[in-house]
Structure 1
């Protein structure tokens, strides 16, 4: 094609625009319209606003029926305006509206449909406190009954994976902390094995089996159970542990009830032989390095409180591992645990003194005679005061010979006795003989064991 044959630019055919609007090159209309001028710039009057809607005219009975919807902010704008204008003229309706608004304020906001984690515990505590059992449980076994029920409720609420959450068992040995790593299932296995020592004293089957021969102390029994069971333990351990706790409660209830009827004492008091039944906790080497073995025993009534104490402490360990709220025991149960620890302190202190871990006694006293004393004051619910003899377990405490005073919160003292708080870290108010205070605090920590 020659240059004379090329069409002029204005002769080009119209090409369609993809927007559907004319091409801006054809001179017909701009592709983007020019901005419009404001009506204020033209000098013209502004358009009149739309007429306001006529207010609703409602009868008194209708307005009164709308008060509930108005309190809940469920009325339309016109209805709300009519109600509010009416409230300015009608005193009875204004008072009713005020009461309804207060009632709406008491309604709970929308919450998760998941149950409150503490609900099960509160229900159990209410049931245990209100419904007396058909066969009375001895008073000294009630804390164990309550703490095992609380722990079982916690185990019911955790998931399968949480049974393998890591837990560190902690206790105090001589002058330093000791720990052992395990899982939630491992902790329940530990409780099952040690509770079995009480069961053996009552004539029940050993959870370790009839063929297992290990030293009868908590640490060796626990290690033996861990070796003989699934490793690591699984949630399957919950069923035998729960069945053993129920069997222990049934056995001591029937035994104590029979002993009480035979002795003529009150039901479940355990004042007969059943509460004094010795429960061996194994043998240890004598502290005088003579090579002899010393048997550790607790009467059944104290052993059940000891098992309740350990159940609570380890339940707290599990709750911390799975991030679950867990409250201390009931005050009356906490008091029994503190009382047991306070009564064990003189013997533990004497044992540490024979081992060279405490300062020697400054006085030689005979059995029943008063000696130096430390006043242990436990504050808070479940607390009280105990006079701890310092010179001999056979001595009696007296205020006339008080040389020191220690004040501790009840839960803090229990954590110290469980080996979860070191004697140096225990938040204690102290006054008097510093050596005596140190010896007693270290003796409290030495009460702990695996």
Structure 2
């Protein structure tokens, strides 16, 4: 029989039904005997059930390439209600990507973004989520990279993504899906995903020190962006995050943009359509310009999917001050 530690390493894949038959036969008897592993398996299964949302007429819908059907499927998959509000956007983004995965069957070589195909894009998300997962005590699923101490975070980020993509390209895409799904489920089952107080502790990831709660929002941001990338590559419409979750993404992006601009930038009154207003830049000068962006367009700008010239906007006043905000927002992108 598989030993206790070995079984715990397999639980997330077991909960997703992604284990090979031999390992599945080893896990099941252990769960019947071990109370702690059985409880953990139940928690993971419940998290996955909540991510899936309620079934339709008792059976899952057949995969379809119809954009309107996909839109409905994505919109009806709610965030897991048992996670804290800071983790709800990530839970919903994970559910959205899982809804899209059936459309990728037979299309894993489709070019998506940068020089990545669909398989590499999912491998990148496996690598990207790994940073927070490891910080929260979840073991990495891909062999470690050789990154020298003191390497700039951007270089370390690029190296890890490159290594993980190369590793996953040597595996079946289904194995990559299973590992990404299992890692996401484990993240959503952590105490930090369910307890706002625990998630208030700050940690340094991707070159910025933020509370763990905000890092969950960052994970939601990136998962949604790449789900949208995959949808566009397949000619499918991926709906934006629900309004409340989109607001969380926007507010975090505005905070980081404000820090990036600093206290000496020409002040601009920045507004989000249907959302809030902020004065970005110096607090000691009169506002020089006003800038209005749609929330989705703003997120796509911060995510590197719009250039400062192309993003739709409403602007008045000092064009240089507006340009400074747009360029700084676009420069935040690492996705």
TM-score scaled by length of structure 1: 0.55
1:198 aligns with 2:132: yes
In 2, Cα distance between the equivalents of 1:222 and 1:114?
29
Matches within 5 A, 1:104-143: 117-119=67-69, 122=72, 125-126=75-76, 128=78, 133=81, 136-143=82-89
Partner secondary structure for residue 375 of structure 1: strand
1:27 is aligned to none
The residue number in structure 2 matching 1:444 is 329
Count of equivalent residues: 267
**Who is 1:109 aligned against?**
none
C-alpha displacement of 1:185: 0.7
Q: Which one has a bigger Cα radius of gyration?
A: 1
Query: Which segments of structure 1 move beyond 4 Å, counting only runs of 4 or more?
Result: 113-121
Shift of 1:232: 8.2
**Residue of structure 2 in register with 1:155 after alignment:** 101
C-alpha distance 192-343 of structure 1, shift in aligned 2 (>3 A): same
Sort the Cα spacing of 1:114 and 1:248 in 2 relative to 1 into closer, same or farther, 3 A.
closer
CA distance 1:338–1:114, shift in 2 (3 Å): closer
1:377–1:408 Cα contact (<8 Å) kept = yes
Change (3 A) 1:340 1:114: closer
Residue aligning to 1:21: none
1:378 CA drift (Å): 1.0
Measured after TM superposition, the shift of residue 118 of structure 1 is 4.5
**C-alpha distance after superposition, 1:399-445 (max 9, x if no partner):** x8322210111111111111111111222111122222111110110
1:54 alignment counterpart = none
Residue pairs, 1:199-218, within 5 angstroms: 199-209=133-143, 211-214=144-147, 217-218=156-157
1:197 and 1:280 in contact (8 A); partners too: yes
Root mean square deviation, CA, Å: 2.6
Residue correspondence of structure 1 range 345-360 to structure 2 within 5 A: 345-350=257-262
- In the superposition, relative to structure 1, how do residues 239 and 114 fare at CA in structure 2: closer, same or farther (>3 Å)? closer
Unaligned runs of 5+ in 2: 1-61
Q: How does 1:249-328 map to 2 (within 5 A)?
A: 249-251=188-190, 254-255=191-192, 257=194, 268=195, 270=196, 272-281=197-206, 295-328=207-240
Aligned residue number for residue 5 of structure 1: none
Measured at CA, do residues 114 and 202 of structure 1 come closer, stay the same or move farther in structure 2, by a change above 3 Å?
closer
TM-score using structure 2 length? 0.72
2:208 aligned counterpart, secondary structure: strand
Unaligned runs of 5+ in 1: 1-112, 169-179, 258-267, 282-294, 354-360, 363-371, 392-396
Cα distance in 1 for partners of 2:249, 2:313 equals 19
Whose RCO is larger (CA < 8 A, sep 6+)? 2
1:297 CA displacement:
2.8
More helix by share: 2
Residues 185, 235 of structure 1: 8 Å contact kept? no
Residues 279, 205 of structure 1: CA spacing in aligned structure 2 closer, same or farther, 3 A cutoff?
farther
Corresponding position of 1:385: 277
Instruction: Output one character per residue of 1:29-59: Cα deviation in whole Å (capped at 9) or x when no partner.
Output: xxxxxxxxxxxxxxxxxxxxxxxxxxxxxxx
